[in-house]
């Protein structure tokens, strides 16, 4: 049987974020090219999750913007950052969702629009954008799919038959106190505002193709200063 957790919505308090001042520099999981990644500001006309073909630092695999949030997808992390104040150019602290065990990251469902970048060493043409990006094997038998949900970013978990969802532990860096209210929302406070995650739906598909709704909830594993670790119960 296969289990889906769909619509884990990542909502960042953008209004508060744009008024906040940066309290720390961007902490990239990769040390190389840190300053370049910190100052990379792609254009505002990107369509979907755009693949990196040399227009950004090498550690970036895909990049997307939605609303007032930028998403940088690395090989082992999803970095969410409020866009800077255009007048003061203040770089706000990011929220980093890490999956160090990910086996690969790839785009899914290419969009018809291509992108063209003018670089110092030439041009990079026909760079594709994708509707979603999948991280394969963030835990044995578990994939994570990053996608758009209206004006926000969301991710789905696909759990293969026989895989243990209870063994999955995701860590989030750049957050403070963590709350799990009665609404089932996982809320994390950051210097840029509050980040909320909500489970949209969960279901199981049996061997005959029938679909069964399942109750699911967040499981808080650890809440340390600057880092939260959580999992799921189904």
Over residues 72-120, the pLDDT tens digits come to 999 999 998 887 766 666 677 788 999 999 999 999 998 888 777 776 6
Answer with the residue of higher pLDDT: 3 or 134: 134
* Contact criterion met (CB below 8 Å) for 145 and 134: yes
| Cβ within 8 Å of residue 87, ≥6 positions away | none
How large is the greatest C-alpha to C-alpha distance in the chain, in angstroms?
58
Q: What angle do CA 178, 99, 25 make, to 5 degrees?
A: 65
Percent of the chain with pLDDT over 70: 74
Q: Work out the number of other CB atoms within 10 angstroms of the CB of residue 160.
A: 13
Over residues 49-74, the pLDDT tens digits come to 998 888 888 899 999 988 778 899 99
Give kind and range of the element (H or E) at residue 184. none
Cα separation, 41 vs 83, whole angstroms = 9
For the segment 21-50, the average pLDDT, to the nearest whole number, is 48
Residue with the two structure tokens 């996982």: 186
Answer with the residue of higher pLDDT: 121 or 187: 187
For the segment 215-232, the average pLDDT, to the nearest whole number, is 88
pLDDT confidence band for 46 (50 / 70 / 90): confident
* Contact criterion met (CB below 8 Å) for 37 and 56: yes
| Cα atoms in the Cβ-side hemisphere of radius 13 Å centred on 220 | 16
β-sheet bridge partners, residue 185: none
Over residues 170-183, the pLDDT tens digits come to 999 988 878 777 77
- Full 3-state SS string of 40-74: CCCCCCCCCEEECCCCCCCCEEEEEEECCEEEEEE
Average pLDDT, the chain: 77
* Contact criterion met (CB below 8 Å) for 131 and 48: yes
pLDDT confidence band for 122 (50 / 70 / 90): low
| Cβ within 8 Å of residue 112, ≥6 positions away | none
Over residues 169-217, the pLDDT tens digits come to 999 998 887 877 777 788 888 877 788 888 888 988 888 888 889 888 8
């Amino acid at each position: 049987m296969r289990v889906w957790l769909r619509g884990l919505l990542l909502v960042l308090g953008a209004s508060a974020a744009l008024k906040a001042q940066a309290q720390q520099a961007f902490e990239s999981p990769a040390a190389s090219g840190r300053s370049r990644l910190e100052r990379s500001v792609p254009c505002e006309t990107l369509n979907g999750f755009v693949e990196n073909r040399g227009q950004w630092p090498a550690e970036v695999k895909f990049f997307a913007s939605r609303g007032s949030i930028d998403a940088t997808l690395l090989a082992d992390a999803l970095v969410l950052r409020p866009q800077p104040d255009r007048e003061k150019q203040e770089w706000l602290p990011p929220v980093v969702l890490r999956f160090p065990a990910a086996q690969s990251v790839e785009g899914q469902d290419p969009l018809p629009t291509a992108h063209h970048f003018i670089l110092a060493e030439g041009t990079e043409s026909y760079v594709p954008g994708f509707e979603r990006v999948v991280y394969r094997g963030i835990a044995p038998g578990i994939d994570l799919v990053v996608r758009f949900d209206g004006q926000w970013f969301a991710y789905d978990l696909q759990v293969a038959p026989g895989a243990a969802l209870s063994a999955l532990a995701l860590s989030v860096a750049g957050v403070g106190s963590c709350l799990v209210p009665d609404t089932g929302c996982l809320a994390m406070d950051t210097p840029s505002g509050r980040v909320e995650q909500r489970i949209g739906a969960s279901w199981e598909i049996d061997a005959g193709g029938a679909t069964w709704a399942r109750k699911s909830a967040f499981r808080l594993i650890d809440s340390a200063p600057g880092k939260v670790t959580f999992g799921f119960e189904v």
